[in-house]
Amino acid sequence: MEDRHALWMGILCALGATALWAGNFIIARGFHHSLPPVTLAFWRWFVATAVLIPLALPHLYRERKQIRTHLGYLSIAAFSGVTLFNTLVYVAAHTTTALNLSLIAMVSPLFIVILAWLFQGEEMHGAKVAGTLIAFLGVLLLITGGSPGVLLKMQFNGGDLLMVVAALTFAFYSLLVKRKPVKLSMMSFLASTFFIGLVLLAPVYLWERGVALAPLMPVSSMGVVLYAGICAALFAFTLWNRAIMLIGPGRTAVCYYLLPLFSGVEAMLFLDEPIGWTHLVSAGLILSGVALSSRSGARTNKAPEG
């Protein structure tokens, strides 16, 4: 029988991560002219790593043999979740519209559910399928403003292709989290992947500095970098990974559909953007889809301690 406490804790963790990521999109939008994409990604992960490593040192020392044993797995997870995913999002934001980004980002939960079914044997019960489709319908209503004809007029470019790759990369990373070695604590997993991902990102950052002549750390952008590093990277990834361990990648993925809803609310609060009837109706559809998809019927694995 399913652990209801684990279920709701997993849902809350996934929702918390999604809300923090929505805030990352809001603040990054206002700084894309002053912060080149790789520079923003590098300093985001530098801050997250600098905060996490001192806290994780006891875990890293105790589990150093496990880290060496699974260094290949950790490197792949670091490259997909740290080095590649957010960098692709930041680069894509320079060459495509916000509407296209919102639409393509919502493909990621579908990728996660499909890949979890194909490669990890996660059950595709009726409630999960129906909930995923209802949530996706709510997202379409939100990003089209109630006018489906908007989809037919959309023009796609190189940035859109990058967002598709980013969505697939995030889905791949989410499945890797579920395969985390049991003897490796989440603290060691995060610290290792953050550090490895940062090292892999450093050469590209140095190249961009030479091309864009970006300063080491723009003082005017300190606030956005701290938020991106501590809240949208460290806290959000901790919550997301914990959710995957508690309720599986499929259920966790459905909560990601709330990303545009959180973005809309935060844009209203901080950017004075209005909320209309389409936002309210789509919110109802998305929340209904998340609730339906989270109904019992899929096997939940408890997360290991640590």
pTM of this prediction exceeds 0.85 = no
The answer on pLDDT for 159 being more than 80 is no
Q: Could you report the per-residue pLDDT of 100-142, keeping only the tens digit for each?
A: 566 667 667 777 777 777 776 666 667 767 777 777 777 667 6
Burial (Cβ within 10 Å: 0-12, 13-18, ≥19) of residue 306: middle
Whole-Å CA distances, 46 to 52, 148, 226: 10, 41, 10
- How many other CB atoms sit within 10 Å of the CB of residue 238? 20
Quickly state the pLDDT bin for 298 (edges 50, 70, 90): very low
> Across all residues in the chain, what is the average pLDDT?
78
Alpha carbons 94 and 91: distance in angstroms, whole number: 6
Distances in Å between the Cα of 257 and the Cα atoms of 45, 135, 159, 238, 289 are 24, 6, 21, 19, 9
Match 């929702």 to its residue by tokens.
Answer: 15
Mind listing the pLDDT tens digit for each residue in 13-67?
999 998 888 877 666 566 666 678 888 889 889 999 999 999 999 999 999 999 9
Q: Which pLDDT band, with edges at 50, 70 and 90, does 192 fall under?
A: very high
Q: Report the C-alpha gap between 66 and 182 in whole angstroms.
A: 10
Alpha-helical (H) ranges within the chain are: 4-29, 37-62, 64-69, 71-78, 85-92, 98-105, 107-120, 126-144, 149-153, 158-178, 186-212, 222-226, 236-255, 259-271, 277-293
- The per-residue pLDDT for 278 is 65
Question: CB-hemisphere CA count at 13 Å for 288?
Answer: 13
- The answer to whether 240 and 13 are in contact (CB under 8 A) is yes
- In 3-state terms, what secondary structure has residue 214? coil
Closest listed residue to residue 293, CA positions, set 20, 17, 10, 21: 10
